Chains A and B, each alone.
Chain A
Amino acid sequence: MLDYVTSYLKSDTTPGQAGNFLWAFIYILLIFLGLSVAVIAMNWLERKILAHMQVRLGPMRVGPHGLLQPIADAIKLLIKEDIMPSESDPFVFWTAPLIVVLTAFTVFIVVPFGPTHAVTDMNIGVLFMLGVSSLSVLGVVMAGWASNSHYPLMGALRSSAQMVSYEIAMGLAVISAVLMTSLNQSGTGTLSMIGIVQAQEAQATWFVFKFFPLGLIAFFVFAVAMVAETNRAPFDLPEAESELTAGFHTEYSGFRWSLFFLAEYSAMIAVSSIAVTLWLGGWLHPFPHWLSGETWDLVFSLFPGLTFVFLAGLTFYSVARMPKHPYFRVQTMGLAGFGAVLGLIGLALFAPPVRDRVQDIYWFAAKVAGFMYLYIWYRGTFPRYRFDQLMTVGWKILLPIGLGVLIVTAILGVVL
Chain B
Amino acid sequence: MADATKNVSHLELGDTDKTFLDSNELIINMGPQHPATHGVLRVILRLDGEKVLGTECVIGYLHRGVEKIAENRTYAMFNPYVDRMDYVAAVSNGLGYCEAVEKLLNLEAPPRANYIRVILTELNRLASHMLWLGTHALDIGAITPLFYTFRDREEILKIFEKYCGARLTTHAFRIGGCLYETYEGFEQDVTKFLKFVTPKIDEYEELLTTNRIWVERTRNVGMLSAKDCIALGVTGPVLRASGVKWDLRKAQPYAAYPDFEFEIPTGQNGDTYDRYLVRMQEMRQSLRIIEQAVGKIPEGPIMAKVPKVIKPPVGEIYHSIEAPKGELGYFIVSDGSTQPYRVRVRPPSFVNLQALEQMVRGQLVADVIAVIGTLDIVLGEVDR
Contact = CB atoms under 8 A, between A and B. Distances in A.
Contacts of B34: 245
Most A CB within 10 A of own CB, among B211, B214, B366, B369? B366
Contacts of B49: 157
Contact of B139 (A50, A157, A236, A242): A242
A53 B36 CA distance: 23
A389 B140 CA distance: 13
B256 to A, nearest CB: 35
Given A150-B1, A150-B28, A383-B137, A388 B142 contact: no
Contacts of B207: 381
Contacts of B274: none
Nearest to B140: A383
A248 to B, nearest CB: 15
B216 A389 contact: yes
B217 A389 contact: yes
Contacts of A55: 147-148, 151
A275 B107 CA distance: 73
A384 B147 contact: no
A382 B214 CA distance: 8
A335 interface: no
A387 interface: yes
A54 interface: yes
A150 B49 CA distance: 11
A198 B255 CA distance: 77
A82 interface: no
A388 B216 CA distance: 11
A240 interface: yes
Given A53-B144, A380-B144, A387-B50, A154 B365 contact: yes
Nearest to A149: B1
Contacts of B142: 381-384
Contacts of A56: 147
A382 B148 contact: no
A233 to B, nearest CB: 7
B364 A383 contact: no
A234 B137 CA distance: 13
B264 interface: no
A242 B369 contact: yes
B143 interface: yes
Contact of A242 (B28, B29, B36, B151): B36
Nearest to A384: B141
Interface in B270-304: none
A388 B366 CA distance: 10
Contact of B364 (A157, A382, A387): A387
Interface string B202-217: 0000011001011011
Interface of B: 1, 26, 28-29, 34-36, 49-50, 137-144, 146-148, 151, 207-208, 211, 213-214, 216-217, 364-367, 369
Sort A-B residue pairs by CB-CB distance and give the 7 closest, nearest first. Answer: A384-B141, A242-B36, A54-B147, A383-B142, A383-B141, A242-B139, A386-B366
Interface of A: 50, 53-56, 150-151, 154, 157-158, 233-234, 236-237, 240-243, 245, 379-389
13 contacts: A54-B143, A54-B144, A54-B146, A55-B151, A158-B50, A233-B141, A240-B366, A243-B369, A245-B35, A382-B211, A382-B213, A383-B213, A384-B213
